[in-house]
Amino acid sequence: MELINIPLYAQVQWKLTTTRFEEWFESDLFTFNWWTMLVLFIICSYLWWKLTDKSRLKEIVLYTGLVIIMIIILDEFGEELSLWVYTTDIFPIFPPITAIDISCMPMIYSLIYQCFRTWKSFIIATIVMATVFCLVFEPIFVWSGIYIMLRWKSYYGFPIYISIALISKAAVNKAYYVSKESLN
Amino acid sequence: MFFVLSQIPRSEEIQKQLTAIHIDSWLKQEVFIFSWWLLIGLIILYIFIWWKLLDKPRLNEILLYVVLATIIMLGIVEYGEELILWDYPIDILPIFPPLSSISLISLPLIYSLIYQHFTVTKNFLKATSIATAIVCFVCEPMYSEIGLFNLLHWKSYYSFLLYLLMAIIVREVVIKIYKITEKYSKME
């Protein structure tokens, strides 16, 4: 690719992208971890579709969509700030870790939203979820070598996982409230 | 517990370098200059106009369109950035630069209003084509002129097809979601 006449940061970006592709081909693609990611992606997407209450689909997709946007943005922030790094991805371009960002975590958030309709039960379930993320899932990912924390501790993520759920639920509630109120 | 100490990928060094360059150029050349304020102004203007034109009783449905379009646009703008197809020279924040790009903010809002207004498929397609043509051949060259957008290895008419496709797919998905919801609500 022609790299003359383009800004310095775009040249460095290109170097980063090509290096990621090289690493992906050399030591990532078709490895055990790579297949795990692919399988996780498919299973979580499938489970989400099977377990979602279709009569509330429009509301649940709105919630899940908001969750996905926040997860993707926060994960990309962490990656660009070198707070953490992933060694495996289904595809080496955005988002940072495809299966977890747009399939597994949104599925879990979505099911909790669906099952726990009152604020109190929702908050309790979300706290339990965040605890499991920090104390079980993250250590497993670190142990398997997929996830490396550079300048990060599991418990930093705890309030963030909870905030994502609370903000998304509040936003969906607000949107449905405004829709209903403006009808009158 | 035993933790395997994985090797940090060598791309990590380049990532650090890239973020440092972003922050450096942001501090030296971008933040608080006229174009930076202009970008914030444009974003506020877009959101304000959207809110004014929004059919409030349908907020939940229009917002679903915005959210799904935003997810796809996040993918598009970041792919373009990583593959250096285009570039947004002015960033509100130096981290995750495409996040503050005018395309990411404006397109979901524009298309969601078209979705709201044109409920007949044929009309929607016509309106979307016209809007996309304006975005790609008028607005984006204008953003380039005022320094908010640069095409590096890309042509405006590629964007035309990409945006058009995105707008149509998101509409189909939203309609489908509403149909499924209705079907299952009746069954209960």
Query: Does a structural domain hold residue B16?
Result: no
CA nearest B4 in A: which residue?
A143
Query: Does a structural domain hold residue B73?
Result: yes
Helix pair B11-25, A8-27: axis angle to 10 deg: 160
Decide: pTM greater than 0.80.
yes
SS3 at position A149: strand
Q: Given this model, what pLDDT does residue A138 score?
A: 93
pLDDT digits (tens, 9 = 90+) for A83-99: 999 988 899 888 888 88
- Measure CB to CB from residue B71 to each of A69, A77, A82 and give the nearest one: A69
Q: Given this model, what pLDDT does residue A7 score?
A: 82
Residues B90 and B30: beta-carbon distance below 8 Å: yes
pLDDT digits (tens, 9 = 90+) for A67-85: 999 999 999 999 999 999 9
- Domain with B97 in it: 32-187
pLDDT digits (tens, 9 = 90+) for A32-51: 999 999 999 999 999 999 99
Does B56 contact A144 at a Cβ distance shorter than 8 Å?
A: no
Query: Does a structural domain hold residue B68?
Result: yes
Does A145 contact B4 at a Cβ distance shorter than 8 Å?
A: yes
Query: Does a structural domain hold residue B20?
Result: no
Does A58 contact B25 at a Cβ distance shorter than 8 Å?
A: no
In angstroms, the Cα distances linking A174 to A179, B60, B103, B142 are 8, 9, 26, 36
Mean pLDDT, chain A, integer: 92
- Measure CB to CB from residue B68 to each of A7, A65, A142 and give the nearest one: A65
pLDDT digits (tens, 9 = 90+) for A109-125: 999 999 999 999 999 99
Which residues, in sequence order, are bridge partners of residue B150?
B87
Query: Does a structural domain hold residue B64?
Result: yes
Query: Does a structural domain hold residue B139?
Result: yes
Whether the link from the prior residue into B108 is cis, omega within 30° of 0, is no
Does B183 contact A54 at a Cβ distance shorter than 8 Å?
A: yes
Query: Does a structural domain hold residue B11?
Result: no
Helices (H) and strands (E) in chain A, counts: 8, 2
Percent residues over pLDDT 90 in chain A: 79
ipTM of the complex, rounded to two decimals: 0.93
In angstroms, the Cα distances linking A34 to A23, A78, A94, A101 are 13, 21, 16, 15
Rounded to whole angstroms, the Cα distance separating A152 from A158 reads: 12
Rounded to whole angstroms, the Cα distance separating B159 from B77 reads: 11
How many residue pairs from chains A and B have C-beta atoms closer than 8 A? 157
Query: Does a structural domain hold residue B8?
Result: no
How many domains is chain B partitioned into structurally?
1
Does B71 contact A145 at a Cβ distance shorter than 8 Å?
A: no
Say whether pLDDT at A1 is over 80: no
Low-confidence ranges of chain B (pLDDT < 50): 1-4
